[in-house]
Amino acid sequence: MIEENFDAIVVGAGMSGNAAAYTMASHGLKVLQLERGEYPGSKNVQGAIMYANMLEKIIPDFRDDAPLERHLVEQRLWVMDDTSHTGIHYRSDDFNEAKPNRYTIIRAQFDKWFSRKVREAGATVLCETTVTELIRDAKDRVVGVRTDRAGGAIYANVVVLAEGVCGLLGTRAGLRQMPKPQTVALAVKEMHFLPEEVIEQRFGVKGDEGCVIEAVGTTSRSMAGLGFLYTNKESISLGIGCLVSDFAAMVESPYVLLDALKSHPSIRPLIAGSEVKEYSAHLIPEGGYKAIPQLFGDGWVVVGDAAQLNNAIHREGSNLAMTSGRIAAEAIIEVNSRNAPMTKRNLALYKAMLDKSFVVKDLKKYKDMPALLHTNSCNYFTTYPRLMSQAAQNFMRVDGTPKIEKEKATTAAFIKARSRWGLVSDAVRLALAWR
């Protein structure tokens, strides 16, 4: 179907693929981007929070026309048990700035916009095209891709694999292993539509201000998981995700967890009267630093979720995706400018550049967190949330019990649940993994 040879083929039109395609095309490279969805975004799912700094580095004036929902002025971190939540809220008027730091977005709309920028930069974007195979030459170098369209072989100097968390092509080609059930989370989400003024009233925001809630606790039923609620302009994204290994071991249903979250007394009034217009599911890379695969080889690089680049602790994914896509593109541009071949040796530049960025530095900082949370999920996601709620209630409730007795009861409850040694060792392990 396409006879020409491209400088680069980008597989996938999500955050990392669009960042890579835009960066290469705007530097004059001949880029072909292939997307299996009907339109870019039609297969993509995210919470979604978008971090401005990382997009500014790609499209500085994105605020002029990108479809942004609300800029975040308030973040609520909740620990939930069955009837309560204990929270840390941070709200600041400083977040009402000329160029806000974080926005909620709706991916199908955002990705269409990003893809339009990619095309305006000069890339050829072909949708409804599933890449079925990588083409390799006699020396095992990746030289192109085959698609499910007629006559499907297309050749390029380098293939950027921005194929998403499942990473079908790369794993089938043996470039990296398939993600393990304990290194990916399954998240489900619903889009709850409400009038703009109702959202403003319920969350105490005005105009484009937005609020997010992220919650751990008994809502994940002892599994390592997180519930989230993000305010969009006229809708609320509400979802919950847990590790796939936990779902399988506990034989739990994600939609049952989602429905339980929706009926939790702290969440229910926030979504009351809403109209649900979509239900979605997606995997999220959770393995962190230790799950990062080989990132480059002869004729290929891998970026974004396919490279498992996701910061589960800070719930950052799309910014790591965009940044890895941009950096891979910059490495390719650099190699191309020297008229050098896209060999493994030359493309190592991508990893060297990524290692120096916040992407790898952040993941390295938390390299021991996934193992800690996954192996002690019952303590961190059920025992402590219950203890915290009891302690808070004990503190708040006034019933004639002397305060000294209340404090003793709270301390005794913690010791009974985890023992003195258990409490100290949980704290030390958490501190060490966080450090």
Looking at the Cβ atoms of 11 and 353, the one nearer to other proteins is 11
Contact in structure between 131 and 147 (CB atoms under 8 Å):
yes
* Shortest reach from residue 154's CB to other proteins, in Å: 13
CB of 133 or CB of 330, closer to other proteins? 133
The footprint of other proteins on residues 212-241 (CB under 8 A) is 235
The minimum distance between CB 246 and other proteins, in angstroms, equals 10
Q: Does 45 bind other proteins (CB under 8 A)?
A: yes
Q: What whole-number distance in Å separates Cα of residue 54 and Cα of residue 193?
A: 29
Phi, psi of 245 (to 5 degrees): -60, -40
**Nearest distance, CB of residue 286 and other proteins, angstroms:** 12
Site map for other proteins, 97-116, x if CB under 8 A? ---------xxxx-x-----
Q: 72 pairs with which residues across the strands?
A: 210
Of 17, 41, 297, 299, the residue at the interface with other proteins (CB under 8 A) is 41
Strands 184-193 vs 209-217: parallel, antiparallel or unpaired:
unpaired
Q: The dihedral of CA 320, 323, 329, 331: what is its sign? A: negative
Of 226, 188, 228, the closest CA to residue 211 belongs to 228
Smallest gap from Cβ 234 to other proteins, in A, equals 11
Q: How many CB atoms lie within 10 A of CB 275?
A: 9
Residues 308-367 that bind other proteins (CB under 8 A): none
| 277 lines the binding site for other proteins (CB under 8 A) | yes
- How many beta carbons lie within 10 A of that of residue 188, not counting itself? 20
Q: Which stretch binds other proteins (CB under 8 A): 122-130, 154-162, 327-335, 353-361?
A: 122-130
Among residues 129 and 377, whose Cβ is nearest to other proteins? Answer: 129
Question: Which one of 36-44, 135-143, 215-223, 336-344 is the stretch in contact with other proteins (CB under 8 A)?
Answer: 36-44
Closer to other proteins by Cβ: residue 173 or 388: 173
Q: Which is nearer to other proteins, 48 or 66 (CB)?
A: 48
The two tokens of residue 188 are: 């489900």
Q: What is the 3-state secondary structure (H, E, C) of 79-127?
A: EECCCCEEEEEEECHHHCCCCCCEEECCHHHHHHHHHHHHHHCCCEEEC
Binding residue for other proteins, selected from 278, 334, 368, 426, defined by CB under 8 A:
278
Q: How far is the CB of 63 from other proteins (least distance, A)?
A: 21
Beta bridge pairs of residue 235: 193
- Residues touching other proteins: how many (CB under 8 A)? 54
| Nearest residue (CB) to other proteins, 42 versus 343 | 42
- Alpha-carbon distance 68 to 103, whole Å? 6
> Cα–Cα–Cα angle for 276, 281, 285, nearest 5°?
140
Of 149, 202, 233, 367, the residue at the interface with other proteins (CB under 8 A) is 149
- Return d(Cα 38, Cα 128) in angstroms, integer: 5
Contact 75, 90 (CB under 8 A): yes
Binding mask 157-196 for other proteins (x = CB under 8 A): --------xx-x---------xxxx--x-x-x-xx-----
Q: For other proteins, which is the closer residue by CB, 43 or 365?
A: 43
Amino acid at 375: T
Are 219 and 240 a contacting pair, CB within 8 Å?
A: yes
Structure tokens at 416: 């009974």
Residues that bind other proteins (CB under 8 A): 36-38, 41-46, 48, 106-109, 111, 127-130, 147-149, 165-166, 168, 178-181, 184, 186, 188, 190-191, 235, 244, 247-249, 251-256, 259, 276-283
